[in-house]
Each structure stands twice: as structure tokens, then as C-alpha cells.
Amino acid sequence: MKRPKLKKASKRMTCHKRYKIQKKVREHHRKLRKEAKKRGHKKSRKDPGIPNSAPFKEALLREAELRKQQLEELKQQQKLDRQKEQDKKRKLETNPADEPSNIESKEVIEASDIVLEVLDARDPLGCRCPQVEEVIIKNGHKKLVLVLNKSDLIPKENLENWLNYLTKELPTVVFKASTNPKDKGRITKVKAKKKAFPLKNNVCFGKEGLRKFLGGFQQTCGKPIQVGVIGFPNVGKSSIINSLKQERICNVGISMGLTRSMQAVPLDKQITIIDSPSFIVSPLNSSAALALRSPASIEVVKPLEAASAILSQADARQVVLKYNVPGYENALEFFTNLAQRRGLHQKGGSPDTERAAKLLWSEWTGASLSYYCQPPTSWTLSPHFNESIVADMKKGFNLEELEQNNTHNIQAIQSPCSANSVLFYSSGLTNGIMEEKDIPELPGQKRERKQEERKDVKDTEKISDMSPVEETGEEALPEEPIIAGDPSIRPCIILDEKTKEDDAYDFSRDYV
């Protein structure tokens, strides 16, 4: 039987051929060593230095030593500066909240005629920023509209209650953006053969209603308008723009804070939408608000603390039913049970509570977990609003058509029942920061800043303590005290005496 031909040639060879190759290599190396031995090894020439008979040898040596010290000090200072720059970059990468995204949010507000504040329907009150709304009101003649995104993740009764609560203050649009992360180019319906993503994840609700809503306002204005989209991280700002444009233009993903700069997207000839970075969350908010709204990664934030803060705001009985774990008394016990349930183990078989905490955090900040908050029992106007401002915000909009579209979208959206959702107790409005100078320093940051200041002072003292090297190489003479009222003693006399002594150099006596 004929042996089948292999796809790749074999690298095996006979022993005779291999030994022959090794012999040739040894001969080649021997030849190179022999040639190098004939050429001989040239020793590097040493610097002879300054001869002993040279005049001013000690002064020249001191000058060279001082110059060497100055170069070392300069290198050390450059190294410290590089380390500071690297630390700053590292802090910006690990904590994007320190980036000047508030400045770009202000620019988006100033450039927009209508500002869409995107809210997560699971916690609408926690996604509102009073500081940003105050800035919009102060700019004047700006319209603020609320967009309830992720409306398919809460029960319909809860969605209707929130819609009734928010429309008393501002125009509110019910929306459900397309959330397929692998969708590229045109957003189209998934064929029946593809079962990787459900059909409901690719269907967008509220798109036509929002476009008509913006188009009606543009017609009343009679000029092209710009629409700014603002909000906290992971509320779906870029997803809303992609859904309106029916094309994946803005970068979207599971991780928080992906949008880092402004991006203008023309919706049509008359309407332009501007995407903006997320708000800066004030560190004075509650721990649960920081865990849900801050763009910092869970790798930077302590996962157990962040997830425990979220867990403390949720209904314990519904959490047990949702995750199918036994009852728990504290957060650590819950994460232990969850790790055992999901098969998250460390080396040795112990449950990995940190991975369980990260899992909980990613589900609560993502767009898959169904939880909801109850609106306040009594409606009260926000402190930064009054009746005249509310009336001005609603002028120029067709509110009847908006109400009809919201009712139609609520009926069309497939919402989960309250038994399959988790009740979450909202911590109220989330404060933001519009000026970087208003960011309060934590004790650890104050300590680091003081240490850096001390280092800078020490470096400047080292450089200032170094005596300047004169051209002649002589050391600087100590200053003699000047007695008040005695005009005979002056520094210029000392310098004249020094120059006379230098001129009185005798080669026959001093240089042999």
C-alpha cells in the first residue's frame, strides 16, 4: 500500500547528516577564534586625566566633580518628573472620574437646543443630576427632556407610575434601545436561524416617537436644531443614538465610561445629535450610588464593598429567589452561597467571594438584570425648578402625541412581572460635579499631595544648596559680615583684593 503524502515535510534527518552539520559548525567556530587570536585584543585606552604638574589641578577636579553632581541631580529630577507623569496617567486610567469630562458636558449643553437626559428606568431618580439640571436652567432657552431607557427591564405598572411621576415636571419619553453588542452596520432584525441573541434584544421601541417629537420642535423653531445627549455612565446614551440613526456610529459596550469625547451625529438635514461623556459623580454620594453610577471599574473599587452596598439596598427575600441561594444574614454569607451556587472556587476548593461580588456588580450595572424602584408616594417639585420653568420646558412640544406614543410603547414592550424582578430602594438624586475644583480630596489623596510637596521642597533645597562654579574654578569665598555704619568695609574691596592676588602669580616660583 502506498504511504499517504503528508501535508508538511518531516524535519527528521539521518544521523550521518546531523553529525556532518555539527562538525562543520565546530570547524567554523574554531576558524573564527583563530582569526580573532591573530588580530589580538585591543585594550581600551584609559583617560590619562590631569597631570600633576598642571596648574589649578585641584580647582579643575573640583569643577569636574561639581559638574558631575549637577548632571546626576538633573537626571534624578527628570526621573522624578517622569514618575509623576506616569502616576498621573495611571490615576486617569484607573479613575476616569478625574478626567475633565465635565467640561465637555458643559460644551454639549451650551451647543444644544434640546438636552436629552437619559435615565435608567430601573432607578430613574438615582440617574438625575440636580447640578447639571441647574446649569441647563441657567443657560436659558434650553429644553430639557427625560428619556426612560431600558424600559423593558421593569414591570409595566412600575413604568406607568414613573411616567406619571416624571411628566408632571418635564417631558418624558419611554424608550428601549437596541442592545445587541455584536450588531455591526445597519441594525436589522435577526433571522430565525440565529439563536445567539433573542429577538427582543434587537427591537427598538420609542424610536419613531422620539424622532417625531424632535421633528415637531424643529418645525416650530423653523431652523436646524442640535440635540445633546447626557447622563450617568451605562444608562445607554450611545445606544440611543445608534438606535435613532439605525447604524452603529457611537462605541457601545458592557464596560462603563466608554465615551470619552464629544461626537456629533447628523440624524437628518435639520437635526444633529451630540453624544457626550458621562457625568462626574461626587464622592460624597452614598456607597450604593457610587457603585452603580461611578465609571470606575470594579477592579479599582473594592468589589466586596461595592457589591455589599448594592445588596444592602435590595429586598433580601427577592434577592434569594432571584439567585436561588439560601437565606443570608450578611453580605459575606450571601457571596459565599452565590460562589458555591455558581461554581466559583479558589485553589483548595474555598469559595471565591470576590468573583461572586464582581458578578453581582456587573449584573446590576449591565442591561440584563430586572430590578425596579418605587416612585415617591407624594410628588414634590424639585428645588431647582418652579412652575414657570416647568411651563417653559413644555412649550413648543406636542405633548398629546408624546403621550399617545408612550402609551403605545408601554403596551408593545415585553416587560417582566414583579415576581421575577428585585425591589431596589433608591437613594434619591445623585449629585454630580461640574467644576474640577469642587472635587473633595480624600485623606489618602491629601497625604499623597503633602508628600509630593515635601519632595519638591527637598529637591529645590538640594539644587539651591549647590554653590555655583565660577569660570576660574575657585571656590566661592565666604561673605564677611557688613557692620552697619562702617563704610570702610565693602564687598567690592574683597573682590579687588582677590583679583590682585590672582594677578600676582609668579611662574618661576609657583610652577616648576
Query: Burial code of 35-68, b = ≥16 C-beta within 10 A, e = fewer?
Result: eeeeeeeeeeeeeeeeeeeeeeeeeeeebeebee
What's the pLDDT score for residue 432?
Answer: 83
* Domain 96-378+385-432 = CATH 3.90.550.10: no
What's the pLDDT score for residue 460?
Answer: 53
pLDDT-derived band at 484, boundaries 50, 70, 90: very low
Average per-residue pLDDT for the chain: 78
From 193-207, 336-350, 477-491, the region with the lowest mean pLDDT? 477-491
Query: Burial code of 371-397, b = ≥16 C-beta within 10 A, e = fewer?
Result: bbbebeeeeeeeeebeeebeebbeeeb
From 282-286, 388-392, 445-449, 478-482, the region with the lowest mean pLDDT? 478-482
Residue 476 has pLDDT above 60, yes or no: no
Q: How many CB atoms lie within 10 A of CB 283?
A: 14
CA distance 229 to 240: 9
Residue 347 has pLDDT above 50, yes or no: yes
What's the pLDDT score for residue 202?
Answer: 63
What's the pLDDT score for residue 300?
Answer: 57
What's the pLDDT score for residue 316?
Answer: 92
Q: What is the pLDDT of residues 2-25, one digit of tens each?
A: 666 667 778 889 999 999 999 999
Segment 173-182 mean pLDDT: 74
Facing residues of 351 across strands? Answer: 345
What's the pLDDT score for residue 57?
Answer: 86
What's the pLDDT score for residue 180?
Answer: 58
pLDDT-derived band at 194, boundaries 50, 70, 90: very low
CA distance 340 to 323: 12
418 contacts 157 by C-beta, under 8 angstroms: yes
229 contacts 118 by C-beta, under 8 angstroms: yes
pLDDT-derived band at 53, boundaries 50, 70, 90: confident
pLDDT-derived band at 313, boundaries 50, 70, 90: very high
Strand 263-266 vs strand 172-174: parallel, antiparallel, or unpaired? unpaired
Three-state secondary-structure class, residue 455: helix
Of the ranges 350-354, 454-458, 459-463, 504-508, the best mean pLDDT one: 350-354
What pTM does this model have?
Answer: 0.63
Inter-axis angle of helices 353-365 and 331-342, nearest 10 = 90
Instruction: Identify the burial level of 14 via C-beta atoms within 10 angstroms of its C-beta, where 0-12 means exposed, 13-18 middle and 19 or more buried.
Output: exposed
What's the pLDDT score for residue 189?
Answer: 40
Residue 440 has pLDDT above 60, yes or no: no
* Residue 463 CB contacts under 8 Å (≥ 6 apart), including other chains: 73, 77
What's the pLDDT score for residue 302?
Answer: 79
- The structural domains of the chain, with segments of one domain joined by +, span 96-378+385-432
Give Cα separations from 310 to 54, 141, 151, 291, 357 (angstroms). Answer: 80, 38, 21, 7, 10
Higher pLDDT, 306 or 191: 306
CA distance 269 to 223: 10
What's the pLDDT score for residue 287?
Answer: 87
Three-state secondary-structure class, residue 507: helix
DSSP E strands: which ranges in 183-325? 225-230, 263-266, 271-275, 280-281
Facing residues of 117 across strands? Answer: 146, 230
Q: What is the pLDDT of residues 95-154, one digit of tens each?
A: 544 444 556 677 888 888 999 999 999 999 999 999 889 889 888 788 999 999 999 999
103 contacts 438 by C-beta, under 8 angstroms: no
Higher pLDDT, 41 or 150: 150
pLDDT-derived band at 182, boundaries 50, 70, 90: very low
